[in-house]
Amino acid sequence: MEIVASVKDLQNLLSEKRNSGEEIGFVPTMGALHEGHTSLIDTSVRERKTTVVSIFVNPLQFSAEEDLDDYPLSSEKDKEICANHKVDLLFCPTQKEIYPEGSPELEEIGEIGKILEGKSRPSHFQGVATVVARLFEIVGDAHVYFGEKDFQQVMVVNDLVKRRRFPVEIVACPTIRQIDGLALSSRNVYLTEDQRADAPVLYRALNMGAELIADGEKSSENLKKLISDIVRNESKGDLDYVDVVDSETFAPVNLLSDSGKKIRILIACKFGSARLIDNIGVVIP
């Protein structure tokens, strides 16, 4: 594995790979790698000849009150994980390398990025879109692997790719979970023992919601109420939102009556200082 810090070095190495006909797989990360990330890396390694991983903690996607200063860093461990998972190129740029002009102009985001997470975390998706656009400019033609745990992020990035015509293909990969259903996230390290015991309620409640739809429920309001009640009754979590959207357009769905339509139920909830998100895909029967 080669570790590079400069854009120029990365681009030179990528040109060599492309000249020998190698397809590039790219996994952008903020480090603190866990099995959610390694499943993306493993998929890229399986599907593409060359896999590039970037590790860059992007300050633009954290608000002033959020956890940038406490964001878990584990650079030596991350390097070891990447090497063990057969990453070819590890890109660990400095702030200056990514944002040479200091504070860059923020990328525009469409409506998709303004609801749910976008509403709870204003400017978050603009920060994500800005760094992702920059990384796409640097890496160029590639298949880029994202986790469906951050379903709205995948939608925002797909929209960005379409609007900016980046020569990349987004590959959305399934959420990796612990045995009790808790979705893997770098934020899980903030959970106390009691909160960790509470947190699987999110996936449990999402699954109960999916069952309700399978049993014929047509009202999103009833669905959201069932899920909220489960989270409130079975945990000390502080629920932020539960919502239902069309999986393709991300438009809110009120009536669950369109047979065959693919929808996503999304949830965000705080357990102490850890704000966790999760989602599940359902096809309306």
Q: Which residues bind ligand PAF (CB under 6 A)?
A: 28-30, 58, 61, 128, 131-132, 150, 153
Mapped onto helix, strand or coil, the DSSP state of residue 269 is: strand
Closer of 24 and 128 to ligand PAF (Cβ):
128
Residue 127 or residue 209: which is nearer to ligand PAF going by CB?
127
For residue 2, the minimal CB distance to ligand PAF (Å) is: 20
Q: Are 70 and 43 in contact (CB under 8 A)?
A: no
Counted residue by residue, the chain has a size of 285
Give the distance, in angstroms, between the CA of residue 251 and the centroid of all CA atoms in the same chain: 19
- Quote the least distance from Cβ 167 to ligand PAF, whole Å: 18
Closest CB to ligand PAF among residues 28, 237: 28
Return the structure tokens found at 261: 């339509």
Least distance between ligand PAF and beta carbon 30 (Å): 4
Set 34, 37, 124, 143: catalytic member: 37
Distance between CA atoms of residues 215 and 192, nearest Å: 36
> Least Å distance between CB 54 and ligand PAF?
7
Report the SS3 class of residue 152: helix
205 closest CA partner among 241, 172, 174, 173: 241
In angstroms, what is the C-alpha Rg of the chain?
A: 19
Cβ closer to ligand PAF: 26 or 271? Answer: 26
Q: Tell me how far CA of residue 147 lies from CA of 4, 76, 94, 177, 233, in angstroms.
A: 24, 23, 24, 12, 29
Catalytic status, residue 37: yes
Q: Which residues are catalytic?
A: 37
